[in-house]
Amino acid sequence: MPVSKLLALAVLAMLVPQATPTPGALESGPAGWVDLLADRTLGQWVRVPLGPAGKLPAGQADAPSPWSLNAADGVLVCDGTKVGHEMLRFAEEVGDIILHVEWRFTKVDGEPPYNSGVYPRVNADGSTWFQAQTGPAGGYLFGSVPVDGKPQRVNLRDKMTENRVKPAGEWNTYEIRAAGRTLALWVNGAVVSEYADCPLTRAYVGLEAEGYRIEFRNLKLKKL
């Protein structure tokens, strides 16, 4: 997205009154959650290439992973500047869930279009997916589904009710409820994006690496 459009969206967001914050699912009901980063070796996670090649680029698979977990504080770092485009996918396939994650970009000079995403539903090879987009344009649901054998994008940015994403360097909290074919994204106190026709009702969860350094913490899942 052009930087000028991102800036325009950010200014518009400041002019729109935000909804009164409501507690998230983790705060409201702290029991029954699974810590997806409990294994500090990331042994339950798999790197998946994203793109037509179907494999990690030459040299990338053998290079140090852009993903690293700080054992002391449980913060997962993704240095997306080291890779083209890939996903870190959790090994277990799940059905109806709530996914909780806190994230922040490492601030860099200028007004870059920071880019990454959180996948509440993605198939094993990453060819069909839905993600909660992160970045200055706000949190919204975004996906790709096959139509007549070709990927078709589903972009709900224009239907996002408000931009509640904080500036780079500050922590944000996302909770994504995936129940049946319905996805709902809660951002820093309010649901801002919903989609009622997700074709994946059992899938995987994952995180995206795409050009920027981003940190994740408190990555937790609750089965419904």
The tens-digit pLDDT sequence of the chain (224 residues) is 444 554 455 444 444 557 788 999 999 999 999 999 999 999 999 999 886 555 555 555 566 789 999 989 999 999 999 887 899 999 999 999 999 999 999 999 998 999 999 999 999 999 999 999 999 999 999 999 988 888 899 999 999 999 999 999 999 999 999 999 999 999 999 999 999 999 999 999 999 999 999 999 999 999 99
pLDDT reported for residue 12: 47
Would residue 90 count as lying in a domain? yes
What's the structural domain count of the chain? Answer: 1
Would residue 212 count as lying in a domain? yes
Would residue 18 count as lying in a domain? no
Distance CA 1, CA 15 (A): 21
Would residue 17 count as lying in a domain? no
pTM of the model: 0.88
Would residue 31 count as lying in a domain? yes
pLDDT reported for residue 52: 55
> How far apart, in Å, do the first and last CA atoms of the chain sit?
36
The DSSP secondary-structure symbol of 52 reads: T
For 4, residues 6+ apart whose C-beta sits below 8 A from its C-beta are: none
Among 75, 146, 145, 139, residue whose Cα is nearest residue 106: 75
Q: What is the CA radius of gyration of the chain?
A: 17
Residue 203 has a CB neighbour count (10 Å cut-off) of 23
The DSSP secondary-structure symbol of 158 reads: G
Would residue 16 count as lying in a domain? no
- Domain of residue 44: give its range: 3-9+23-223
Would residue 15 count as lying in a domain? no
Would residue 200 count as lying in a domain? yes
Output the domain CATH number for residue 106. Answer: 2.60.120.560
- The first and second tokens of residue 188, run together, are 């820093």
